[in-house]
Amino acid sequence: MDGLNSELRISFVGLPGSGKTTVGRQLARRLRLPFVDSDQAIEARLGCSIREFFDREGEARFRDIEEEVIETLTQDPACVISTGGGAVLRQGNRAHLHGRSHVVYLKSTPEELFRRLRHDVSRPLLQVADPLARMRELFTIRDPLYRETAHFTLETGRPSVATLVNMVVMQLELSGHLPTC
């Protein structure tokens, strides 16, 4: 993959557990680009976990910090960015992601995500009495925003991580963002 555009930024959006970090990290490795997880960048800036900050300061303040971090990350040189599941809730994030990077929406059903995440206590929005209902609610609200932000959508139901990475590379080649091999 030599000859990559030094300004190529690829961002992943999708619900929690859709594979943004896993697929993003593998794609970055394949393209020999830096990988940045926006949640990790936020935690480094905060000096505490997102969950702690969320509990202490609330979601609105967290979204303010997230917006500042996304704004900065989308100006970095070529990289692969994995965003938090709620990053698309802010119009500024949607505009920065769509305008400054090639956005991939990893789309998963709420039921599939519930199976993946049912034992994960690190996700504050899912620490509710009925996490599946919460996941369905998040999907209803966020799916249109993911679709608005994305340049293309990949269904994550059956394909392996390697297959998803290959599909992203193919889409980038077809759209002229990567030289064809």
Measured between alpha carbons, how far is 149 from 103 in angstroms, rounded to an integer? 7
- Residues that constitute the known binding site: 17-22, 39, 63, 85, 123, 142
DSSP letter at 34 equals -
- Residues that constitute the known binding site for ATP: 17-22, 123
- Residues that constitute the known binding site for substrate: 39, 63, 85, 142
Task: Report the amino acid identity of residue 5.
Answer: N
- Residues that constitute the known binding site for Mg(2+): 21
Which stretch of DSSP H or E encloses residue 42?
A: helix 38-46
Q: Which residues, in sequence order, are CB contacts of 145 under 8 Å at separation 6+?
A: 88, 89, 94
Q: Which residues, in sequence order, are CB contacts of 156 under 8 Å at separation 6+?
A: 14, 18, 19, 106, 107, 108, 112, 164
